[in-house]
Amino acid sequence: GEDVEQSLFLSVREGDSSVINCTYTDSSSTYLYWYKQEPGAGLQLLTYIFSNMDMKQDQRLTVLLNKKDKHLSLRIADTQTGDSAIYFCAESPASGSARQLTFGSGTQLTVLP
Amino acid sequence: SQTIHQWPATLVQPVGSPLSLECTVEGTSNPNLYWYRQAAGRGLQLLFYSVGIGQISSEVPQNLSASRPQDRQFILSSKKLLLSDSGFYLCAWAGTSGGRETQYFGPGTRLLVL
């Protein structure tokens, strides 16, 4: 089945850029998502990208996709303390009546003052 | 706009007691609905999903069950809770836009079984 992997922890200084990495295994057309989870809360959708795209930018967020290596990254520019959270990468197939998400284990981002 | 609610927010239950967690969605019709469990290790495990009223698919065999009595209501139940049922339960609904289906999550229910 599909598998999504992420590193568990990342620490950055406030104002620096953060880069959170993810690898996936599904070779068919797929959507890839980034979710943010703050302590004790549900998951908030940040952004998504379709597997035929290379890059997507949304304000401070930039998603880069390397289809050959099945590698996805989320770059957060000018990281702030409010960005401290767990970030989940997820993928789903592009077709089907109930498109199930496969999540990575999440990356805990800590922003240091 | 669409909103998703989960109730209760926190629950402490003894082993062997029953469970009923509720999830309701507003502002959309005929959504796909999902129940996930997030254990202490942070990964999300899909438990059940539903594409319509009365239609439930189970991903993982366990002592939990799900029901969808109304279009925008999804209920997670157990007749007898186990210690291993402790965790953070997340409900999600999915909408389709431009051929892309995206899941949106509720605030979650934290369950502690003692």
Tell me if chain B has a CB within 8 Å of the CB of A9.
no
**B42 contacts A105? CB cut-off 8 A:** yes
Residue A68: which residues within 8 A CB-CB, separation 6 or more? Answer: none
Tens-digit pLDDT profile for chain A (113 aa)? 568 999 999 999 999 999 999 999 877 768 899 999 998 889 999 998 888 888 999 999 999 999 889 999 999 999 999 999 999 999 887 665 556 788 999 999 999 98
pLDDT in the model for residue A99? 61
Where is average pLDDT lowest: A9-18, B19-28, B38-47, B97-106? B97-106
Instruction: From B63, B46, B52, select the one nearest B113 (Cα to Cα).
Output: B63
Query: Residues of B near A (CB-CB distance < 8 A)?
Result: 6, 32, 34, 41-44, 46, 49, 51, 57, 59, 90, 92, 94, 99-108, 110
Q: Residue A87's closest chain B neighbor by CA?
A: B42
How distant is the alpha carbon of residue B95 from its chain centre? 16
Mutate to test the interface with B, among A10, A88, A103, A105 (most CBs of B within 10 A): A103
